[in-house]
């Protein structure tokens, strides 16, 4: 948890403190941006008050204020942004839609926002920000099926939109459609092959899907999950979720390997060229590594050591529980 709230860090649902701090500084920031005097027209072009950071900060404050319910401040920020970039800017249109969604008091008002979106899209169907906004609105209104079909049609037009693929994967996961979720995540990784969190996420989804499988398929999926976690760790040291996934998948894999009398080497698909399942020893080693790393992260993060303070508390807590559970298992 970062002590001073950075203006440039967007507020996320996983870090409410930061969001709160950001929204509290909104008034002070907008005051600091008001200069006491401005030059007349031609000379004003020469004075530089512009920067990427300024507008990113306005956007972040706007989002933070909406989250914390400070709608007045949010409105001021939105006005600043609208003045600067104009009403027709796609991003501003999305932000305005967001503001209206957030300030809507009733279902009818939300329906009104939806109608506005539809009108915009009727005029110009290529405004992706509004299309995404509309999907988000559908999702938040509980109309998941419509949202998913919209998202699929969006991805038909723009198949390299990693954000959309990730969103779609999330929706499939909620529906329990693991296979589709895995496919979507794989699409995300095609666009962004170095996204370690996506690798870890894929590992998690695969692990979940493995729970429902049996025999060779389960073993294969678990091995795939383990490998995804390993790739995630490879891309990002000390990535908690990656180790967590590794720990889970290797523990489960060890159990599965124990159960299986003979490792089914022939289960590897000769056409796809699947790798052979790992040996028990290596899985054990991986499990030990994951355990050791998790316990180190938990220890250091809970003692607030410098350089180890960026972990989500909930995740650390979950990791501790996992370690404790496995320790009990060993005791037993």
85 binding other proteins? (CB under 8 A) = yes
Q: Which residue number, 155 or 208, has a Cβ lying nearer to other proteins?
A: 155
State yes or no: residue 94 binds other proteins (CB under 8 A): yes
Span interacting with other proteins, options 10-18, 85-93, 113-121, 252-260, rule CB under 8 A: 85-93
For residue 206, what are the CA distances in angstroms to 165, 175, 199, 210, 288? 17, 15, 10, 6, 21
Q: Please report how close the Cβ of residue 128 comes to other proteins at its closest, in angstroms.
A: 6
45 binds other proteins (CB under 8 A): yes
Residue 35, interface with other proteins (CB under 8 A)? no
Judged by CB under 8 A, does residue 158 bind other proteins? Answer: no
Q: Answer yes or no: are the C-beta atoms of 77 and 26 closer than 8 Å.
A: yes
Contact 146, 134 (CB under 8 A): no
Quick one: which segment of 4-12, 51-59, 148-156, 305-313 binds other proteins (CB under 8 A)? 51-59
Q: Which is nearer to other proteins, 87 or 262 (CB)?
A: 87
Given candidates 30, 129, 267, 268, which one binds other proteins under the rule CB under 8 A?
A: 129
Place of tokens 């290529």: 126
Q: Please state, as a whole number, how many other Cβ atoms lie within 10 Å of the Cβ of residue 88.
A: 9
48 contributes a contact to other proteins by CB under 8 A: yes
Does the footprint of other proteins cover residue 128 (CB under 8 A)? yes
Nearest-approach distance from CB 50 to other proteins, in angstroms: 4
Q: What is the dihedral of CA 120, 122, 126, 127, to 10 degrees?
A: 10
CB nearer to other proteins: pick between 66 and 81: 81
Q: How far is CA 87 from CA 62, 120, 174, in A?
A: 16, 12, 35
The least CB distance from residue 164 to other proteins, in Å, is 11
Dihedral sign (CA 176, 249, 325, 261): positive
Q: Is 83 in the site for other proteins (CB under 8 A)?
A: no
The DSSP string of 268-281 is S-TTTTPPPPPPHH
Q: How many other CB atoms are there within 10 angstroms of residue 144's CB atom?
A: 13
Q: Which residues bind other proteins (CB under 8 A)?
A: 45-48, 50-52, 55, 85, 89-92, 94, 128-129, 132
């Amino acid at each position: 948890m970062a002590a001073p709230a950075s203006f440039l860090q967007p507020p996320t649902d996983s870090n409410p403190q930061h969001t709160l701090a950001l929204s509290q500084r909104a008034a002070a920031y907008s005051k600091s941006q008001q200069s006491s005097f401005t030059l007349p027209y031609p000379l004003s072009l020469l004075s530089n008050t512009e920067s990427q950071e300024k507008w990113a900060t306005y956007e972040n404050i706007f989002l933070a204020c909406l989250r914390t319910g400070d709608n007045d401040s949010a409105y001021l920020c939105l006005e600043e942004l609208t003045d600067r970039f104009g009403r027709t800017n796609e991003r501003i249109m999305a932000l305005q839609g967001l503001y209206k969604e957030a300030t809507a008091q009733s279902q009818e008002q939300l329906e009104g926002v939806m109608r506005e979106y539809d009108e915009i899209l009727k005029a110009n169907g290529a405004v992706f920000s509004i299309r995404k906004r509309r999907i988000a609105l559908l999702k938040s209104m509980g109309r998941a099926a419509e949202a998913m079909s919209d998202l699929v049609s969006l991805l038909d037009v723009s198949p390299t939109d990693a954000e959309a693929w990730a969103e779609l994967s999330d929706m499939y996961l909620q529906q329990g459609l693991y296979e589709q979720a895995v496919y979507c995540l794989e699409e995300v990784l095609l666009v962004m092959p170095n996204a370690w969190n996506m690798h870890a996420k894929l590992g998690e989804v695969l692990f979940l899907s493995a729970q429902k499988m049996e025999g060779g398929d389960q073993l294969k999926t678990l091995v795939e999950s383990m490998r995804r976690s390993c790739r995630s760790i490879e891309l990002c040291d000390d990535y908690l979720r990656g180790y967590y996934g590794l720990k889970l998948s290797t523990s489960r894999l060890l159990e599965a390997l124990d159960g299986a009398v003979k490792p089914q080497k022939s289960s590897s698909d000769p056409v796809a060229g699947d790798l052979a399942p790992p040996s028990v020893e290596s899985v054990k080693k991986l499990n030990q590594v994951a355990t050791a790393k998790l316990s180190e992260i938990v220890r250091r993060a809970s003692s607030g050591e410098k350089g180890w303070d960026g972990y989500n508390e909930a995740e650390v807590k979950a990791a501790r529980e996992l370690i404790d559970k496995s320790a009990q298992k060993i005791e037993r």
